[in-house]
Amino acid sequence: MHKSFILSAVALLVSATAGFAQGNVSLHQPAAMSELLAKKSDSQTITSDDAILAGGFRVQLYSSNNAYKAKKDAMGLEKELNNLYPDQRIYVSYAAPFWKVRIGDFTSYFDALTFSQRLKAAFPQYSNEIYIIKEDIVSISYY
């Protein structure tokens, strides 16, 4: 579906460029494309087709492999972060044997660094563990 959209966009660009050179523009678009565009504008649901992975940064606040308490600590920290920073997304992950808590979808290293300083002030008990991770972040694309 993305290929047909890209091809339609390229065809539109080529026809528009040729049309400007001649003084008229002619747009030929399949009916399915009009339906797809109308459906996208009416839809409030975001699907994986709407998302794009982009390079970005997150701040890691917690990582532990303590089998007895790491999961409980990670979940408790997630709840506390949600209360303090409701505008930031929190990511709790388990990759054996580590539980990790990361926060944010920052597009620049500087933004992540600034936020990490705020976290160090708010959570001094984790200040030695707080660092910036380069990670793909999800960006929503509306076309």
- Give me the residue label for tokens 């303090």: 84
Please determine, for residue 139, whether its predicted confidence score (pLDDT) is greater than 80: no
Record: fold of 52-140 = Alpha-Beta Plaits (3.30.70)
- The whole-number pLDDT of residue 46 equals 54
Whether the Cβ atoms of residue 56 and residue 107 lie closer than 8 Å to each other = yes
Taking alpha carbons only, the member of 32, 13, 28, 7 closest to residue 40 is 32
Please determine, for residue 66, whether its predicted confidence score (pLDDT) is greater than 50: yes
pTM: 0.62
How is the chain split into domains, by residue range? Answer: 2-43, 52-140
